[in-house]
């Protein structure tokens, strides 16, 4: 490029504008549009109480999307999310009935069950070299079968513990729901993990060029194993919170979260091919999907229509941003 062409105009831009990801800016712009559209359907759409309620509901999706983002940054996918959420919810409520210690062990037990399934996913993808789409879909079916076997094919009778219910619906500090504070803590921990640790640098490195990452000394298999373990644990934790919100666990409780989680991640600018993305973008994607779900519910759009919309969104974002990595690489 010759001096004096496009470079000076770019250099004159404020540094903060040069750092903004276009996909993230677009997601936040869409949030503003949805808020305006929603206010046309309901006068209470912009009220603080309603917006806090949407953030509370969005926190459950945020848990799932956080784990999904880490896996997608590797260039992989986790399709076991739906029934790992059910595993977290159903096993935590089952542990609640284990005598006086039930309330104490319920949440850790549910999360550990999800972590176990996630680590199995990691072993299959990292060490057995099975494509993540195939292996995680198989684990999803295994988890479904085990949960149906545990309940005998009927709805479980286990109820959420008071602690689970308080985490999902309570207000410990001011008017902000506890679930939103949990989202903030998980989000800050994820940002630190991805930007300030060797694990985060390895995730981006593997997502950009896996062979080059391996040759540079990154333990690719171990990183993939840990990433899928985190995805499973976070999905199960999302199921725990959802069970607390509903006061009980139920079969298929995570079925409605797979496509929205993927859509939230890609809407936030995370490349579906891996190596590019930020948690700020994922946060914007979660809020955007939550508001979109609310508006579609107000408009009485059927669930099938919502799934079509999520699918179109994913395909559109893939076409817009998914190919840039390959052209640059």
Over residues 63-98, the pLDDT tens digits come to 999 999 999 999 999 999 999 999 999 999 999 888
Over residues 93-137, the pLDDT tens digits come to 999 888 778 889 999 999 999 999 999 999 999 999 999 999 999
Local structure of residue 100 (DSSP, 8 states): G
Q: CA 106 to CA 97: how far, in whole Å?
A: 9
Average pLDDT in the chain: 87
- Report the interhelical angle of 220-246 vs 178-196 (nearest 10°): 170
Query: In the prediction, which pLDDT does 305 show?
Result: 83
3-state secondary structure 235-299: HHHHHHHHHHHHCECCCCCCHHHHHHHHHHHHHCCCCCCCCCCCHHHHHHHHHHHHHHHHHHHHC
Which pLDDT band, with edges at 50, 70 and 90, does 323 fall under?
low
**pTM score of the predicted model:** 0.89
Task: Decide: 287 and 269 in contact? Cβ < 8 Å.
Answer: no
Q: What are phi and psi of 176, to 5 degrees?
A: -80, 125
By residue count, the chain amounts to 329
Stretch among 4-13, 31-40, 49-58, 209-218 having the lowest mean pLDDT: 4-13
Q: CA 301 to CA 207: how far, in whole Å?
A: 36
Q: Where are the domains of the chain?
A: 56-258+270-277
Stretch among 94-103, 199-208, 319-328 having the lowest mean pLDDT: 319-328
């Amino acid at each position: 490029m010759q001096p004096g062409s496009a470079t000076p105009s770019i250099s004159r831009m404020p540094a903060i504008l040069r750092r903004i990801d276009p996909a993230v800016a677009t997601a936040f712009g869409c949030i503003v549009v949805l808020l305006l559209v929603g206010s046309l359907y309901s006068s209470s759409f912009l009220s603080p109480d309603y917006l806090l309620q949407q953030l509370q509901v969005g926190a459950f999706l945020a848990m799932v999307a956080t784990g999904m983002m880490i896996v997608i940054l590797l260039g992989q996918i986790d399709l076991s999310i739906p029934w790992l959420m059910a595993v977290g919810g159903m096993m935590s409520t089952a542990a609640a009935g284990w005598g006086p210690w039930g309330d104490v062990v319920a949440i850790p037990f549910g999360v550990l069950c999800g972590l176990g399934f996630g680590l199995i996913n990691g072993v299959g993808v990292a060490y057995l070299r099975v494509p993540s789409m195939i292996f995680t879909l198989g684990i999803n079916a295994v988890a479904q079968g085990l949960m149906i076997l545990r309940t005998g094919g009927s709805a479980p009778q286990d109820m959420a513990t008071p602690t689970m219910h308080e985490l999902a619906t309570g207000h410990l500090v001011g008017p902000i729901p506890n679930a939103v504070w949990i989202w903030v803590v998980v989000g800050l921990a994820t940002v630190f993990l991805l930007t300030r640790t060797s694990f985060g640098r390895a995730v981006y490195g593997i997502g950009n060029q896996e062979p080059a990452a391996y040759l540079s000394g990154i333990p690719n298999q171990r990183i993939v194993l840990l990433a899928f373990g985190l995805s499973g644990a976070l999905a199960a934790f999302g199921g725990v919170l959802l069970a607390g919100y509903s006061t009980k666990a139920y079969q298929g409780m995570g079925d409605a979260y797979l496509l929205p989680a993927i859509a939230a991640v890609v809407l936030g600018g995370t490349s579906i091919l891996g190596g590019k993305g930020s948690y700020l973008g994922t946060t914007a994607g979660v809020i955007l999907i939550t508001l979109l779900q609310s508006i579609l519910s107000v408009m009485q759009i059927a669930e099938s229509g919502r799934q079509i919309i999520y699918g179109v969104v994913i395909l559109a974002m893939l076409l817009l941003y998914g190919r840039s990595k390959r052209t640059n690489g």
